[in-house]
Amino acid sequence: ALPQALLSYYCQEGYFQHVRAAAEEALGRLGSDPVFLFYRAYGALRTGDIQEGIRQLESIKTKQEVSLCTMMALIYAHKKSPNPDRDAIMELDAKMKEQRKAAGQQALYFAGLFLWHLGNENKAREYVDKMIKISGGGKEGLILKAWLDLTCGKETHVKKAVKYFDEALQEGNDVFALLGKAQYFEVQQNYSGALETVNQIIANFPNFIPAFIKKMKLQLALQDWEQAVETAHRLLQKDAFNLEAIRMEALHYLCREGNISEASARLGDLIKALVRLEPHNSQLFCKMALAFSRTCGRNQLILQHTETLVKRASELASDEAEFATELGYQMILQGKVKEALKWYKAAMILDDTSVSALTGIIRCQLIQGQLEDAEQQLEFLNEIQESIGKSGELSFLRAVLAIKKRKRQEEVIALLNDVLDTHFSSLHGFPLGVEYFEKLNPDFLLEIVKEYLKFCPAQTVIPGQSPTPLLKHCASVLETVVKTVPGLQQAVFLMAKVKYLSGDIEAARSNLRYCLERNPSYADAHLLMAQVYLAQNNTKLCSQSLELCLSYNFEVREHPVYHLIKAQAQKMMGELSEAIKTLQMAKNLPVMREPTASSKAKGKLIEIDASDRVSIILELAEAHRLNGELHEAAIVLQGAVNEFSGTPDELRVVIATADLAIAQGDVEQALAVLRNITPELPYFVQAKEKMADIYLQYRRDKKLYVGCYRDLAEKLPSAHTFLLLGDAYMKIPEPDEAIEAYKQALKKNQKDPALARKMGKALFKVHYYSEAISYYEAALRSSQQNFLCYDFAELLMKLKQYEKAEKVLQQALDHESVNELTSLMEDGCYRVLLAKIYSKMGKINEAIASLQQARELQVRVLKRAQIEQPDAVPAQKQLAAEICTEIAKHSTAQQNYEKAITFYKEALVHCETDNKAMLELARLYLAQDDTDACQHQCSLLLKNDQDNEAATMMMADLMFRKQDYEQAVFHCQQLLERKPDNYATLSRLIDLLRRAGKLEEVPRFLLMAEKHSSRAKLEPGFHYCKGLYLWYTSEPNDALRHFNKARKDSDWGQNAVYNMVEICLNPDNETVGGEVFENLGGDKGNSTEKQQSVQMAVRTAENLLKELKPQTIQGHIQLRIMENYCLMATKQKSSVERALNTFTEIVVNE
C-alpha cells in the first residue's frame, strides 16, 4: 500500500519523473508487479518518452488487474503522439469497451485510479462505483471514492468523503486513507486537524516522504514559519534534493526574512534539483517560478532565476501559450517592455483566444503610451467579460487608462476599489502557502497602492486633522502584504510612507528602521526617514539621514526629493537663502524637465512623480515668501500655474497662491482663489479646509468656519466629510452638533473603527454617560464592532461601574485560542485593562494573574510583530514595559522586592528609556541598601534626563549615606541653579548643609528663590524652608512663625506641624535625656514655672497633632510616634512607659 500511495501522490502533484523513479525502485525491491510496471510506463508517457511508454504498456496489456487502465493509457499515448494513429485508437477503444464488461474489481479499481490521475473524475466515479458494487464495499474502492468526492470541488460531495475515509480506517491504518483525511481537514480549513492526522501518518509510516511535505505545508497554513522550515530541514535530511523542501527554504528567505542573497542561492539549488529530478516537466518548471517572481519586489537576482525557469518550460513545450504569456510577464517585471510585447504576441499566435496574453499586450501599450489601441482592446475584453469572468488585472488596466487620460478622481478611485474587491475575492479560502503567494501577487498590490498614493496629499497631515480615507485603504492593503510577505521591503517602505502621510510619525519611523536594518543602502528609505525626522523638527537627524543616503548612493544628488528635504531642513533652521539655492538646484535637474520623469542612479531607476515636482516648486515659492521676496514667490507660482494647468496637481498650486495672498495681507483674494475650486476637482476637500482655517484664524468667524465643512458635507456627502464636520464642531466647541455629524458619518460607513470610537468618545466628552453606554451596547450587539469593547470597558471603569466593565472584557476574551497577530494584540490590551479594573475592585491576585497572562501574550506578539508588523513594535514594546511595571508595583506593595526588581529590569529591556521604571528600580535598590546598584540606576536615568528631580535627589541621598556631603550638596545645588523655587530640593539642601556644618550658605539659596519669583514670600514651601533654616540656627520662635504659615498647606502642612511639635516639646533643640547630667552638684528641683511651661508646650503640641489627617500607612505611624513624643515630654513615669511600649510595638511591626 505504501509504494502505491507514494505513486498516487506523485501523479496528483504532477511529479512524473518521480513516478518513474519510484516505480523502478519498487520493481527492484518487490519484483515485476504489473501495477508498478504500469506506473513506470505511465511515468514514461508523461515525461515525453511516448514510444518507450507505449512499448512498456504493450508488454503488460494482458495482465488482468491492469488491463483496463493499460488500454486507456495506450489510447492516451497514441493521442499524444506527434502523428496519432486513428485506426489504432479506434481498435483500442473497442477492446477496452469489450474488456470493461467482464472486468474484475482490481481492473475497475486501477482504471478508476488512472482516470482520476488524468483529471476525468466523472468517468472515474463510474468505474469506482461499479468496483464497490462488485466487491461489496471494498476498502480500496471506498478510499478512492472518498478522494474523488474530495477533489471534485462540490461541497455536498466533500462532506461525504470523510465518512468513507473513516469507514476504511476502521480496518486499520491505511496511509492513502489517512492522507485523504488530512486533505479533507485542509479543504475544510481545519489545519490543526489535518496536522494531527499527518502526524499520525508519520508515527506509523516514518519514511513516507509525502507526509513530511504535507506537514510542512500545513505548518505554513497555520502561519508557523519556524516549524515549517524545521520540517523542511528534516525532509532534506531524508531526501537531499526534495523540491518542496528546497522551495520552502527559498520562500522563507525571500518572503519572511527578506534575505535576497540566500533566497537567490536556494533558488539556484532548486533549479539544479529540478534539472536533475524532473528535467522534462515543463509545468513544474513554470509553476516553481510563479510565487518567487510575484513576491521578490522585482529584484533582478531573483527575476533572473525565475526567467530561467519559465524559459526552460517554454523550451520544453514551445507550443504552450501559457508559458509564452508568463515569459511576457517576467519581462514586464524586469522593465523590458519590448521583449514582453514580443512574447505576448507569440502567445497570441499560439492561442488567439488567450485573454491573459491580450491583457499583457494592453499593459505594454499603456506603458508605451499607445492609449487609443489599449482602449480599443479593453473595450473588446469588456464586452466579452461575462463569458471570461471578472479579472482584477483588467480592472486595473482600465484604472491606469483612466489615470493616463486624466479622468475624474472619483472615477479612477471607483475603478481601483473594484480592482481590490475582485482581487481579494479570488483569494477566499486559500491557506497561507505557495498558491496563496501566487494569487495574492504582492507585486500587483503594490502597483495598486502606488496608483492610490497619486491621489493622496504629498505632505503629512496637520496634527488633529483626519487623513484622507485613501490612506486608510492603502494601509489595509499593505497590512495584508506585510503580514504575508514581511521580507518584501518595498511593502514595508510603502507602509512607512502611508503612516507618514497619515501623521503616524512613530510608526513610519519604526517601519523605516526595519527596512534599513535589512538593507542599509535603501536610498528611498533614507530619504523618507529624513522627512520623518523633519516632521519631528529634528534637523540634526534629518541631515544625518541625508548624508547616509548620499554615502550609500552618490547619484541620489540627481534625485530632486533629496534637495527638497535638504531645503526644508535649511528652512527650518532659518537658512532661507541656502534653502532657495538648494531648491533652484533641484528645479534645474534634468529629471525635473520631463513630464513623466525618471532618472538612472547606480543602475536603479529613480522615479519622480508630478506631485514631487510640484512640491519642489511650491517649496521654492514658500522660501521666497518667508525671505520677504514676495515678487519672486509670485513669479515662481505663476510659472507653476502655467506648467500644471489641467493636471491633478494644479489645485495645490492654487492653494499655495492663496497662502501667498494671505502673506501679502490680502485675505479676500485668498478666499476668492479658493472659492473657484469646485466639488468635482480632486483638491476640493483641501481647499475647503484651507478656507475654513482662514475664517477661523484671520476672520475669527466660527460660523463661517463650520459653514465650510457643512458645505463640504452637502456637496460631497461621505463618511470622511461628515467626520471632518464633526471634528470642526468639536473644535469650536459645539459637541451636540458634532455628535449629529458623527452619526451621519457612521451611517455612511458603519465598519470604520476610528469613526465608531470618535462617536463614543464625543458622547463621553460632553458627559452624556447613559447615551454613551447605550451607544456602545448597541454597537457591540451588532457584533461587527468588537474593537469597541476596550473603549466601552474603559468608559465603565471611569464611571466606577467595575463589575460591568469586567463583564464586557471577559466576554471579549471568551473565544477559542487565536493565532492572528491583531487578535493577540487586542487580547493583550484587554488583559491589561482588566488588571486595572481588578486593582480598583481590590482583587489584587486576579489583577496580577491578568497581567501575567498579558505578559505571556506580549512575548508572542513581540516575537511576531518584529517581522509581520514592524510599525507596531514601538507601541507593543511600550505595552510590554507597562505590563512589567504594573506587576512590579504589585510585588512592591506585597513587599516581594526581589520579584519587583526582576520585573522592573524586564520593563527596561522592552523600553530602555522608561524613566519611571528606572526611578522605581533605583528606589527599590535604595530600600534594600544596595547603594551601588541604586547609584548606577540614577546615573543612567540622569544620562537620559539630566533635569530629573527625583533622580538628582536620590543621588544626593546616596552621597549623604556615603557621608560624602560635598557631592550630596553639589547635586542639590545643580537642581536649584536650574530652578531656584524647587522647595523640596531646597529643604533637603538645608538639611544636608546643616549636617555638613555649612548652614551659613543657606541664605544665598533663600535669596535666589525670592529673586526668581515675586510670589516666593506667599509660597508655603518657601516659609517651610525659611522655618527650617531658623530652627537649625536656634531661632525657634521665628521658625515657629514661618512653619505656621505653611501649616495649612496640603504639601507642606504635615511636616510643618511635626516640626512645630518638636519645637514645642524641645525649644532649645537639646539632647533628649540630657537633663540627667544637668545640675549634678547643684539644685535638683525644677522650678514650678518651668514645669508649667513644659505642660503648656505639650498641650500645644497635642492640639497641633489633632489637626493631622494622614492618608497613608506611613503617615499614621509617624503620627503615633509624635503622639508618644508628647507622652514622653510629660516626664511622668506611666506616660513614658506607655510611649516606650508603643515604640517597641512599632519597631517589631516594621
pLDDT of 1079 over the 60 cut? no
Helices (H), 698-820: 702-715, 719-731, 735-748, 753-765, 769-781, 788-798, 802-813
Span 644-659, average pLDDT: 78
- In sequence order, which residues have a C-beta less than 8 Å from that of residue 873 and are 6 or more positions away? 510, 514, 862, 865, 866
For residues 865 and 876, the answer to whether their CB atoms sit within 8 Å is yes
Which residues make beta-bridge pairs with 605? 600
Q: Are the beta carbons of 401 and 371 closer than 8 angstroms?
A: yes
Q: Which stretch of DSSP H or E encloses residue 599? A: strand 598-601
* Cα atoms in the 13 Å half-sphere on the side-chain side of 1083: 3
Asked if residue 789 has pLDDT above 90, the reply is: no
Q: What angle do CA 885, 891, 895 make, to 5 degrees?
A: 140
Q: Is the pLDDT of residue 1074 over 60?
A: no
The candidate with the shortest Cα–Cα distance to 1094, out of 1130, 1062, 1053, 1128, is 1130
Rounded Cα distance between 907 and 1117, Å, is: 33
Least confident of 26-40, 99-113, 801-815: 801-815
- With 90 as the cut, is the pLDDT of residue 578 above it? yes
Helix and strand numbers (H, E) in the chain are 62, 2
Sequence-separated contacts (24+) of 468-474 with Cβ below 8 Å: 468/685, 468/720, 469/718, 469/719, 469/720, 470/413, 471/498, 471/501, 471/502, 472/502, 472/754, 473/417, 473/420, 474/449, 474/498
Give the Cα separation of 419 and 452 in Å (integer): 12
DSSP state of 1017: G
pLDDT tops 80 at residue 646: no
Q: What is the pLDDT of residue 605?
A: 47
Q: What share of the chain is helix, strand, coil (3-state, %, to 5)?
A: 75, 0, 20
Which regions of 412-557 does DSSP assign to beta strands (E)? Answer: none
For residues 531 and 821, give the distance between their C-alpha atoms in angstroms, rounded to a whole number: 29
**H/E segment holding residue 598:** strand 598-601
pLDDT computed for residue 988 by the predictor: 85
What is the Cα 988 distance to its own chain's centre?
A: 47
Q: Provide the pLDDT for residue 365.
A: 93
Question: Burial level of 743, CB count in 10 A (0-12/13-18/19+)?
Answer: middle
**How many Å separate Cα 265 from the centre of its chain?**
30
> In sequence order, what are the beta bridge partners of 606?
599
Of residues 1014 and 563, more confidence is placed in: 563
pLDDT of 785 > 80? The answer is no
Pick the CATH number of 554-643 from 3.30.160, 1.10.3470, 1.25.40, 1.10.10: 1.25.40
Fold observed for domain 462-552: 1.25.40
**840 Cβ partners below 8 Å, 6+ apart?**
797, 800, 802
Count CB neighbours of 1134 within 10 A.
Answer: 9
Distance (Å, whole) CA 377 – CA 397: 11
Instruction: Report the C-alpha gap between 543 and 47 in whole angstroms.
Output: 61
Question: Which range scores top for mean pLDDT: 177-186, 715-724, 924-933?
Answer: 177-186
Cβ(867)–Cβ(486) under 8 Å? yes
Q: Can you tell me the distance from the alpha carbon of 1059 to that of 1044, in angstroms, rounded to the nearest whole number? A: 10
pLDDT of residue 751: 67
Asked if 72 contacts 127 with a C-beta cutoff of 8 angstroms, the reply is no
Q: What percent of the chain has pLDDT over 90?
A: 37
Mean per-residue pLDDT, 821-843: 88
Check whether 1084 has a pLDDT greater than 60.
Answer: no
At residue 602, the pLDDT reads 42
* Alpha carbons 237 and 240: distance in angstroms, whole number: 6
Q: Which amino acid is at 991?
A: D
> How far apart, in whole angstroms, are the C-alpha atoms of residue 632 and residue 637?
9
**Integer CA distances (angstroms), 465 to 460, 721, 765, in order:** 10, 12, 19
Could you tell me which residues are beta bridge partners of residue 604? 601
Contacts by 10-15, CB closer than 8 A, 24 or more apart: 11/39, 11/42, 11/117, 12/117, 14/281, 14/283, 14/284, 14/287, 15/243, 15/278, 15/281, 15/284
- The single-letter DSSP state of residue 606 is E
Q: Is 90 exceeded by the pLDDT of residue 1127?
A: no
Q: Which residue has the higher pLDDT, 82 or 581?
A: 581
d(CA 909, CA 912): 6
Torsion of CA 900, 901, 907, 909, to 10 degrees: -160
Q: Return the residue matching grid coordinates 497619486.
A: 454
Which pLDDT score is estimated for 1082? 44
Cα(519)–Cα(465) distance, rounded to whole angstroms?
A: 33
Predicted local confidence at residue 56, as pLDDT: 94
Quote the pLDDT of residue 787: 67
Are the C-beta atoms of residues 1013 and 981 closer than 8 Å to each other?
Answer: yes
Tell me the pLDDT of the chain averaged across its residues: 86
Q: What is the distance between the alpha carbons of residues 292 and 267, in angstroms, rounded to a whole number?
A: 9
pLDDT of residue 195: 95
Residue whose C-alpha cell is 483566444:
353
Q: What is the mean pLDDT of residues 139-154?
A: 89
Q: Which of 58-62, 249-253, 658-662 has the highest mean pLDDT?
A: 249-253
When pLDDT is cut at 50, 70 and 90, the band that residue 1086 belongs to is: low
pLDDT at 1076: 40
Residue 753 binned pLDDT confidence (cut-offs 50, 70, 90): low
Looking at the predicted structure, is the pLDDT value of residue 199 above 50?
yes
Task: Please choose, from the candidates 407, 414, 408, 398, the residue with its C-alpha nearest in 3D space to the C-alpha of residue 362.
Answer: 398
What is the chain's Cα-based Rg?
40
- Residue 450 predicted with pLDDT over 50: yes
Categorize the per-residue pLDDT at 747 as very low, low, confident or very high, splitting at 50, 70 and 90: confident
pLDDT band at 594 (very low <50, low <70, confident <90, very high): low
**Is pLDDT of 1077 > 60?**
no
State which amino acid sits at residue 628. Answer: G
Mean pLDDT of all residues in 745-750: 78
Rounded to whole angstroms, the Cα distance separating 791 from 171 reads 56
Cα three-residue angle 922-927-929, rounded to 5 degrees? 95
Q: Mean per-residue pLDDT for 644-667?
A: 79
How far, in Å, CA of 782 to CA of 267, rounded? 49
Backbone angles phi, psi at 118, to 5 degrees: -80, -10
Q: What is the pLDDT of residue 604?
A: 47
Measured between alpha carbons, how far apart are the two ends of the chain, in Å? 78
Question: Could you tell me if 804 and 792 are in contact, meaning their C-beta atoms sit under 8 angstroms apart?
Answer: no
Q: Pick the residue with more confidence: 962 or 1070?
A: 962
Q: CB under 8 Å to 87, separation ≥6 — which residues?
A: none
At residue 677, what are phi and psi to the nearest 5 degrees?
Answer: -80, 115
Mean pLDDT confidence for 779-790: 68
**Per-residue pLDDT tens for 1003-1060?**
988 888 888 888 888 889 999 999 999 999 888 889 989 999 988 888 888 889 888 8
Helices (H), 869-896: 873-893
**Helices 897-910/915-927 angle, 10° precision:** 150
Residue spans in the chain of domains classed CATH 1.25.40.10: 462-552
Q: How far apart are CA 1141 and CA 1129, in angstroms?
A: 15
Per mean pLDDT, which of 266-275, 363-372, 639-648 is the most reliable?
266-275
Average pLDDT over residues 778-797: 74
Measured over the CA atoms of residue 20, residue 23, residue 28 and residue 33, the dihedral's sign is negative
Residue 186 has pLDDT above 60, yes or no: yes
Residues 115-130: what's their mean pLDDT? 92
Question: How do residues 661-710 score in pLDDT, each as one tens digit?
Answer: 887 788 888 888 888 877 777 677 878 888 888 888 888 888 888 899 89
Mind listing the pLDDT tens digit for each residue in 313-370? 999 999 999 999 999 999 999 999 999 999 999 999 999 888 999 999 999 999 998 9
Q: Using alpha carbons only, what angle is made at residue 701 by residues 699 and 706, rounded to the nearest 5 degrees?
A: 125
- For 54, 329, 774, 865, the CA distances from 57, given in Å and listed in that order, are 5, 40, 77, 57
Of 2-16, 424-438, 929-943, 1085-1099, the least confident: 1085-1099
pLDDT digits (tens, 9 = 90+) for 472-500: 889 999 999 999 999 999 999 999 999 99
What does the pLDDT read at residue 361?
Answer: 95
